[in-house]
Amino acid sequence: AQKITQTQPGMFVQEKEAVTLDCTYDTSDPSYGLFWYKQPSSGEMIFLIYQGSYDQQNATEGRYSLNFQKARKSANLVISASQLGDSAMYFCAMREGLGDTGRRALTFGSGTRLQVQP
Amino acid sequence: GAGVSQSPSNKVTEKGKDVELRCDPISGHTALYWYRQRLGQGLEFLIYFQGNSAPDKSGLPSDRFSAERTGESVSTLTIQRTQQEDSAVYLCASRATGPSLDYEQYFGPGTRLTVT
């Protein structure tokens, strides 16, 4: 079974508008962390935002926010006020276990390619 | 400070040859990971090193793949008798560890391997 599912292979958004990238996950571990990474065409993986399974509030980092719905096992990324430089692949990832417990590697989704149009 | 570095950035090799990829993690990061990213796909975990503990090799796709790490520094990923399906970008990441906190992984720029 897929641990991380990103159902949108590609998305378009107009500059200055907000966009939501979907991510659902599957785990039986009550302790886990959810991550979003951005991968521009240059190839580097850029960390955007993190949400721990016990965090009470949705994570926010500047224009990025994570809409964490634990019961639905979803962790959607919201980008507000899109910019042309936001055009990239976006990957959702999960690590089961927290801190120095559990499996340390990240499991990645297949990604969503976001294109911001002027 | 310096980020994760990888070398070479690009490697073209003939089928059947061995290749060695290198990763220099961020200084002080005790955890090191190797991932593989095939064209248009997400990242696949290969192997994980944490300090002096036995590595987690559960993601290695075959016995042609091996990796080593000396202490908490450089790591090398070796692919023996390369096959065309090994063509991918190989990404290394390092992570700080500490009590009761989760830290993000910092990725290197990757090595693009092409097997002809």
**Segment B25-34, tens digit of pLDDT:** 999 888 899 9
Q: Is residue B38 left, alpha or beta, with left meaning phi > 0 and alpha meaning psi from -120 to 50?
A: beta
Does A50 contact B102 at a Cβ distance shorter than 8 Å? yes
CA dihedral A73, A77, A78, A81 (to 10 degrees): 180
Pull the structure tokens for residue B18: 């061995």
The length of chain B is 116
B:6-65 residues touching chain A, CB 8 A cutoff: 31, 33, 35, 41-45, 48, 50, 56, 59
B-chain CB neighbours of A35 within 8 Å are: 104
Q: Is the pLDDT of residue A36 over 90?
A: yes
> How far is Cα A78 from Cα B74, in angstroms, rounded to an integer?
36
Does A44 contact B107 at a Cβ distance shorter than 8 Å? yes
A-chain CB neighbours of B102 within 8 Å are: 33, 50, 52, 95, 98-99
Pull the structure tokens for residue B39: 């064209």
Fill in the DSSP letter of residue B110.
Answer: -
Does A110 contact B99 at a Cβ distance shorter than 8 Å? no
More confident residue, A80 or B40: A80
Task: Identify the pLDDT of residue B98.
Answer: 65
Task: Identify the pLDDT of residue A97.
Answer: 74
Pull the structure tokens for residue B44: 């696949």
Average pLDDT over residues A80-100: 89
Q: pLDDT tier at B105 (50, 70, 90 boundaries)?
A: confident
Average pLDDT over residues B92-98: 83
Rg, chain B, Cα only: 14
Q: Which amino acid appears at position B91 of this protein?
A: L
Question: Which SS3 state, helix, strand or coil, does residue A103 take?
Answer: coil
**How does pLDDT run across B65-92, given as a tens digit for each residue?**
999 998 778 999 999 999 999 999 999 9
